[in-house]
Amino acid sequence: MQTVTLQAATRDTWPCLDNLMQFYLHDLSQWLPLTLGPQGLYPIQALDDYWRDPATRPFLLWVAGELAGFAVVDGQHGNGTGHNLGYLFIARRFRRQGVGRQVVQQLFEALEGPWQVMHFDANQPARQFWSRVLTDLSQHPGRPQSVIAQGHPCTLYRWPGPLPSITP
């Protein structure tokens, strides 16, 4: 298993995050009706305010010195406190190698407190990933909840945190 490094994104790396967001949306378009704009890009709302929010913590993911994706933890938690994993994107060539698992473990260990994670139900790989990773925790975060987000069925996991380390 390769070592994954999380690098806190800075204002200088926001353009990289915006570029990676296009790949994230491309993958998501397999399960949601996302459409390309006239310039050949997925339209995304301006994210500068999101990146500037003190509760938003974007990270670039590196595997053996190579850019491999991004993760964003934000404060979009149900009660306004705690951590929400707003985005997790692993480039295709790094998937199914334990990279996502390492990212999740590092984030959970670094940021204590309540957590929530949500995925679109149509995204079967995400559903399988989260079910597997969260089941591997010695203290399962509880029963997943069915919710609607952006008009689509989703599964939401919440737990009070902190969680123990995930074993490989």
Which domains are present in the chain? 4-159 (3.40.630.30)
Report the relative pairing of strands 152-159 and 115-120 from DSSP bridges: antiparallel
Residue 69: the pLDDT is: 97
Which pLDDT belongs to residue 168? 46
Whole-number pLDDT of residue 167 = 46
- Token digits of residue 152: 């689509």
Of the candidate ranges 28-42, 54-68, 101-115, 125-139, the one whose mean pLDDT is the lowest: 125-139
Residue 23 has pLDDT above 90, yes or no: yes
pLDDT in tens, 52-109: 888 899 999 999 999 999 999 998 765 555 888 999 999 999 999 999 999 998 998 8
What 3-state class would DSSP assign to 80?
A: coil
**What proportion of the chain, given as a percentage, has pLDDT over 90?**
45
**144 or 21: which leads in pLDDT:** 21
Average pLDDT, the chain: 85
d(CA 154, CA 123): 9
Give the other-Cβ count within 10 Å of 82's Cβ: 21
The predicted pLDDT at position 45 comes to 77
